[in-house]
């Protein structure tokens, strides 16, 4: 059975760390004020405002902040300030033993997918959700989805169904995140396990041909074979070459899953967009892909 953190209460401490790129102080202050309005006590990592080239401090400093937040029993949740690149550089030396005894939510997306993979492969649930760098631009729905889950463990996301969706419903755990990060970890001990699960993927600033290549990686490595379902999040700022690739994103995806019958939904409101809704990973949820609408919710949600 997976390890799932409990809900937060007002007065709880939430650590802000940066496992990848460096921090902007104005965005940090805005985020801290919002978390305080929610009733939480934000705690900065010791090295949060350090800068080492493009990173928020050295690998050792970024690892130290994340490890301290995991080990500190007064910290009830951990939110990563931003993505970019760098999380993979701290995975090797991260000790999850305290997290298994005293579970807490680790929140983030994009480059944080590397951390999600590590956690989920160790049967620890985590949250794919917005980060402090985005708080000022996030929609009310995006922020509310994070707050509601942290305080009430509730997920209920509904949006208009695409005509290209494959209809169906399933109860299963969700794994995944950023497609490029998933593909970069293929063949490593942090490789994603998708069997019997709903796979969620999103991406930004990629060429169509490269998306096709990454999805072939998923297909040829068997990661699409035994899915319970497939959620295609937002693929933002997708580009094409002067000589057109010749397929849309949807066509690229459907080509890879034509031999399977599990439900598939496109345009899910999560990823590199302002309306980035929270998705709990390694927790069993109910996905309904209908002709009119798509809904993702807690299994016991009425």
Read off the pLDDT of residues 224-247 as tens digits, 9 standing for 90 and up: 999 999 999 999 999 999 999 999
In this predicted structure, what is the pLDDT of residue 301? 55
- Around Cβ 147, how many Cβ atoms within 10 Å? 18
- Compute φ and ψ for 42, nearest 5 degrees: -75, 140
- Around Cβ 50, how many Cβ atoms within 10 Å? 17
Domain co-membership, 166 together with 240: yes
Give the mean pLDDT of 160-185: 98
Q: How many domains, in total, are found in the chain?
A: 2
Indicate if the pLDDT at residue 133 is higher than 50: yes
Is the residue at 19 inside a domain?
yes
Is the residue at 240 inside a domain?
yes
Which of 129, 152, 175 represents a domain boundary (last residue)?
152
Which of 120, 136, 152 represents a domain boundary (last residue)?
152
- Around Cβ 284, how many Cβ atoms within 10 Å? 17
Extract the tokens encoding 131. Answer: 């980060």
In this predicted structure, what is the pLDDT of residue 302? 46
Give the mean pLDDT of 103-121: 98
Which of 152, 179, 207 represents a domain boundary (last residue)?
152
Is the residue at 6 inside a domain?
no
In this predicted structure, what is the pLDDT of residue 120? 97
Domain co-membership, 180 together with 196: yes
Summarised one tens digit per residue, pLDDT across range 262-288 is 999 999 999 999 999 999 999 999 999
* Burial of 46 per CB tally in 10 Å (0-12, 13-18, 19+): middle
Residues spanned by the domain of 204: 156-273+283-298
Domain co-membership, 52 together with 64: yes
- Around Cβ 275, how many Cβ atoms within 10 Å? 17
The overall pTM is greater than 0.85: yes
* Burial of 116 per CB tally in 10 Å (0-12, 13-18, 19+): buried
Please report, for the domain that includes residue 204, its CATH number.
3.50.30.60
């Amino acid at each position: 059975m997976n390890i799932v953190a409990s809900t937060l209460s007002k007065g709880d401490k939430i650590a802000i760390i940066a496992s990848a790129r460096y921090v902007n102080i104005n965005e940090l202050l805005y985020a801290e004020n919002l978390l305080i309005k929610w009733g939480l006590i934000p705690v900065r990592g010791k090295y949060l405002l350090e800068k080492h080239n493009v990173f928020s401090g050295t690998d050792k400093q970024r690892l130290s902040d994340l490890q301290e937040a995991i080990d500190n029993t007064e910290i009830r949740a951990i939110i990563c300030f931003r993505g970019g690149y760098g999380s993979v550089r701290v995975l090797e030396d991260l000790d999850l033993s305290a997290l298994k005894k005293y579970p807490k939510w680790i929140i983030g997306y994009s480059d944080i997918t590397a951390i999600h993979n590590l956690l989920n492969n160790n049967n620890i649930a985590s949250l794919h959700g917005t980060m402090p760098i985005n708080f000022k631009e996030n929609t009310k729905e995006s922020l509310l989805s994070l707050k509601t889950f942290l305080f009430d463990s509730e997920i209920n996301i509904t949006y208009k169904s695409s005509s290209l969706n494959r209809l169906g419903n399933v109860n299963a755990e969700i794994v995944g995140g950023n497609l490029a990060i998933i593909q970069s970890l293929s063949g490593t001990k942090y490789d994603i396990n998708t069997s019997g699960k709903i796979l969620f993927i999103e991406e930004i600033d990629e060429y169509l041909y490269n998306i096709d290549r990454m999805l072939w990686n998923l297909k040829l490595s068997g990661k699409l074979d035994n899915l319970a379902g497939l959620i295609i999040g937002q693929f933002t700022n997708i580009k094409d070459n002067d000589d057109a690739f010749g397929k849309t994103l949807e066509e690229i995806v459907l080509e890879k899953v034509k031999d399977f019958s599990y439900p598939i939904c496109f345009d899910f409101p999560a990823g590199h967009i302002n309306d980035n809704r929270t998705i709990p990973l390694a927790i069993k949820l109910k996905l309904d892909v209908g002709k009119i609408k798509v809904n993702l919710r807690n299994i016991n949600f009425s």
